[in-house]
Structure 1
């Protein structure tokens, strides 16, 4: 490859590294430390590709980019930045950058991006996003989150179907909302439906609506979620819990772009973007006959995996500060953490992911009068200490309920043989369910058994018996 690369960065070391790497790759390189010189080169028609930092001493690259795209729409611009936030990736994309690379970047990847950009020059006019300031719909600067930001930035101006994979509490709905709020359908409605929260026999009616008289109790026509989301985005959370009949209907929508209401006969055209999410391995469910393979391929056009918090612990401080800021905006006292408190947060396993961290921060902001949060505060609220996972009575603490049931079945048949009914299976499985439920209720109420019983909807004596029978380890100060 040949061509002239214009490099703008106020860091002399970065300029030197880029100059050497690009020169070795066969390119002519011109470097500058300010935006004014870069613009003069571009205005004179020089250069075949631009690599620019966002923060320059005389002008922000995001202010320069619109002029570049207007003056030379075919000139590819690669944005590099140490800011590394979700909004950095979005702004780079919506202002017409060919690619965004967070610092520190891999030189081989940069050379590859330059080669692709020069081999496939393009000109595209993107709809300008509104000035949204610096909201933080997604928080984190880890490499895992940077890759998610880059993928999301590429998807904003498309209607491609996205399937988000991630454990509970990783922020799947936040990602779906970001795709909508910063995409070309942002003026339309965002409608979310959780398949696991709706009785299976009602899911079709909820999704597609129903006609008057379609079933007992249908006294009038009711619009479904597809109709409510017309022109916008429909988020199908926990898609793995959708029953087979509804899966067949959804497949037709994805294939034909139309559906019929329950009890209806006339097909209705639909114009929605589908974003689905799951915390299950749908391929395993396909093998068990619980999920349609053809629907999986229709949904999995763009797969997006959200990492659990334990895989991006470097984001914990930013997330904690963000949640404290949210609490402050809601009227709670201002808090700050000392370095030991931050370390305690980072050492915790976070089985509940970002949602667990958010709940912890909200609880601390509301309950503790101190302005400075220490490691002792964190450890008190985590109970087991920062590095201890939540205890379970048996088995792997990270296994799902489905995996627990399957493990019990396997153990039982191995012990008693397939010819005999496995005795006591119900009670043993219920123990695995009740132990974390009771523990979570006690933790949420700081060990107050009266409040925990009210939370669970059981008698206090029943709760006491459960604590005794399950041998639930109690917190300090339990009442």
Structure 2
């Protein structure tokens, strides 16, 4: 039987955590403040400490330094509703064994307590600390909490990291966080996008070249490996790397040595590798387009970034962050109305966080009012609006062509991703239903008749599209 000290000012949290841990056979001691924490530590010798961050009389993370100074062998599991990367990293800095964002799964807590007990028995160290306390990533969704926890585990070591995710999800931000929060932060972070470099120049970009190595090489140029010496080399779009360069990269990862293009002198560098891809590397391995041994060398610590549509709860937080950034860039401050937030949350964001950033900068620059409403967001997204303005010769076909033209500029990949039909239908359906509801004073039965569908179908589509009931008449008035 192990003794677990649980500190949380929420009585409900204390109750359910205590019940779960007792079912696992542990003895549980409870406290609801820092003062009680210190009293319990004076009276007890717990095997594991589980503590909240925000307590009535102080910050749990700030108190951990003193706690662990007196009991360095005590594994600490930090719970927090402040679900940011900074919190996760700060928890590891002060020596916490692990960090669980609220709300958490009780099964995960049970597993974490078991792992903490195993660590205590073995005497091994789980984390090393760093001096940094913040990161550039934003989001409090469960998917992002998983990302934060992995980052917090790898910042203090030199393990190779492979970041996967769709374009625009923030892979470079993750690489920057790993570098900036780790011991290499005072050395360079050098990035190279494989998809942006001509294939016959990738090796020269990576390893450098000597004078006369090829036509136009008029002087010796250091490659990205040399430039990143002592720091981090971020290899973006690694799936686009040609096979010859893959072979050379594998050798560097195995030996830490390389020669420049056209050179004979062996160069040794100390570089941490972080790679990223928006492609399925295992599929490329199966098709013979990517070396299997290189994949395993890169995939030591995998980090899968979720698409923005998979963490819609983060959209308002991100949107307001980008508006704040726009103010720092000299644009006027703008505020989001609730109907604007609703539209942002419903959008599928095929361009992910990058697309959202572009949209918010656009409305910050172009919106006339200091408050951004739903129509401003519709305009920025290029959504089709019906009916077409009176006094023009334009029809639906013209509106759709204009929408496609705008999409081709803003997000050209969306024209070929296999979702275009559903996107266009979705953009037309909502304003059509809204227009009919307005035309018929909110009477759903009459709107449904005008649309040629039954009322139940209309209600289902309204629920799916999050269209309010508005001035719908009661059933007996229809």
Q: Give, in angstroms, the shift of residue 270 of structure 1.
A: 1.6
Cα distance change of structure 1 residues 437 and 173 upon mapping to structure 2, 3 Å threshold:
farther
Cα distance in 2, alignment partners of residues 294 and 59 from structure 1: 50
Cα distance in 2, alignment partners of residues 349 and 126 from structure 1: 37
Would you say the 8 A contact 1:73–1:124 is kept in 2? no
Would you say the 8 A contact 1:73–1:123 is kept in 2? no
Cα distance change of structure 1 residues 438 and 226 upon mapping to structure 2, 3 Å threshold:
farther
Q: Deviations along 1:154-202, whole A, 9 cap, x unmatched? A: 1111111111111110000000000100112112110000011111111
In structure 1, the partner of 2:361 is 362
Counting only pairs closer than 5 Å after superposition, residues 206-245 of structure 1 correspond to structure 2 as: 206-245=205-244
In structure 2, the partner of 1:179 is 178
Give SS of 2:273's match: strand
In structure 1, the partner of 2:24 is 25
Q: Give, in angstroms, the shift of residue 287 of structure 1.
A: 2.5
Q: Deviations along 1:265-306, whole A, 9 cap, x unmatched? A: 122112111000111112222222221111111111111111
In structure 2, the partner of 1:130 is 131
In structure 2, the partner of 1:83 is 82
Give SS of 1:120's match: helix
Cα distance in 2, alignment partners of residues 109 and 442 from structure 1: 45
Task: Using the TM superposition, name which of 276-285 and 342-351 deviates more.
Answer: 276-285
Counting only pairs closer than 5 Å after superposition, residues 331-410 of structure 1 correspond to structure 2 as: 331-384=330-383
Q: Give, in angstroms, the shift of residue 80 of structure 1.
A: 0.3
Give SS of 2:103's match: coil
In structure 1, the partner of 2:93 is 94
Give the count of matched residue pairs: 394
In structure 2, the partner of 1:143 is 142
Cα distance in 2, alignment partners of residues 76 and 251 from structure 1: 38
In structure 2, the partner of 1:321 is 320
Cα distance in 2, alignment partners of residues 269 and 110 from structure 1: 44
Counting only pairs closer than 5 Å after superposition, residues 16-165 of structure 1 correspond to structure 2 as: 16-43=15-42, 46-121=45-120, 122=123, 124=125, 128-130=129-131, 132=133, 135=134, 137-165=136-164
Q: Give, in angstroms, the shift of residue 45 of structure 1.
A: 6.1
In structure 2, the partner of 1:191 is 190
Cα distance change of structure 1 residues 90 and 436 upon mapping to structure 2, 3 Å threshold:
farther
Q: Give, in angstroms, the shift of residue 56 of structure 1.
A: 0.8
Cα distance in 2, alignment partners of residues 131 and 289 from structure 1: 41
Q: Mind listing any 5+ residue stretches in structure 1 that lack a counterpart?
A: 387-434, 445-472, 474-479
Cα distance change of structure 1 residues 369 and 136 upon mapping to structure 2, 3 Å threshold:
farther
Would you say the 8 A contact 2:382–2:403 is kept in 1? no
Would you say the 8 A contact 1:95–1:126 is kept in 2? no
Cα distance in 1, alignment partners of residues 379 and 406 from structure 2: 15
In structure 1, the partner of 2:418 is none
Cα distance change of structure 1 residues 385 and 274 upon mapping to structure 2, 3 Å threshold:
farther
Give SS of 2:30's match: strand
Cα distance in 2, alignment partners of residues 254 and 72 from structure 1: 40
Q: Give, in angstroms, the shift of residue 245 of structure 1.
A: 1.2
Cα distance in 2, alignment partners of residues 63 and 385 from structure 1: 52
